[in-house]
Structure 1
């Protein structure tokens, strides 16, 4: 409950967002928030870690789909929502990460890359997607499209439109 509320509030307000607003949104007192997350950075890291875990689980679920183009499109659209949240938290996420946090993020990122590579390889072998495309190619393109645009009310629809064009170019 706290992490979901933090995702919403911190994603919109960034590093300066009120932790009191997070507690209110979660329906708890500020003391409860601080008992679970002693500082703003630990809350930001918990939100980002949860989002990465959900992306990794989803990537692992879709790797054996019969509709790889649709599955990749849906996964990338979900990823854009996480980038949108992360953009709002960049100041806090840029603090020095502990070795344990770096290891956790790297493990989840590795799971994502592995699952996407399986999906892309299977799709290429079935003639549904272009051959030779890797998870790195897809992720770099997605992040480039996300960060090429300034945040604003039209940011997400514009990024999703460009991602759809990219995915359509991968499909056969």
Structure 2
């Protein structure tokens, strides 16, 4: 009987996650947990047992995309042009955030201390993967001293959230990101 419950729990988890992906894609980070439970055919308590917080659910929904971004950062780590590699990767983060509702909220820095039980695993994974790209770009003189990956991700999250309701959010977010990179003054 315990093995059956574990199998049921695995099926419930998978079903909740599949429904949550669709709900977050449609409604963003504010997707209703109660609606997710109803659509998945489980109770709210079951959803909360698998995902005790909204953040935990968003992290689980974003997991595959986070892994892809981390793999891309690793692939760009030895690129000849450190600045171009960093900007290419950050551009991909912008594209994900702007095209997948709820993704920006999943990677937003929430102020939890590193190693804390409240630490955002998505943010940690992105920062761990992207920091070598930033360090290389900084050593090449392509990034101002003191800029952190947390700064850059915060900028991207802000852009994604600001453009989320734009009729065509991805190109608008990309445009604003390029504006931020270029600066306000011509030739800067």
The answer to whether the aligner puts 1:11 opposite 2:10 as a matched pair is no
Equivalent position to 1:85, from 96, 101, 104: 101
1:153-164, aligned counterparts within 5 Å? 153-164=167-178
Tell me the C-alpha RMSD between the 2 structures: 4.1
The answer to whether the aligner puts 1:119 opposite 2:133 as a matched pair is yes
Residue 130 of structure 1: aligned partner: 143
CA contact (8 A) 2:58 2:103 kept: no
CA contact (8 A) 1:69 1:167 kept: no
Deviation at 1:47, TM superposition (A): 1.1
Equivalent position to 1:47, from 58, 61, 72: 61
Q: Which has the higher helix share?
A: 1
CA contact (8 A) 1:120 1:135 kept: yes
Give ranges in structure 2 of 5+ residues lacking alignment.
Answer: 1-13, 52-56, 107-115
Residue 66 of structure 1: aligned partner: 80
Q: How far does the alpha carbon of each residue in 1:124-145 deviate from its partner, in whole angstroms, 9 at most, with x for none? A: 3224x13312212211211222
Distance in 1 (CA, whole Å) between partners of 2:156 and 2:47 is 31
Query: TM-score, normalization: structure 1?
Result: 0.59
1:32-43, aligned counterparts within 5 Å? 39=47, 42=51
Query: TM-score, normalization: structure 2?
Result: 0.55
Distance in 2 (CA, whole Å) between partners of 1:64 and 1:116 is 12
Q: Provide closer, same or farther for how the CA distance between residues 75 and 155 of structure 1 changes in structure 2, counting only shifts above 3 A.
A: same
CA contact (8 A) 1:7 1:85 kept: no
CA contact (8 A) 2:66 2:125 kept: no
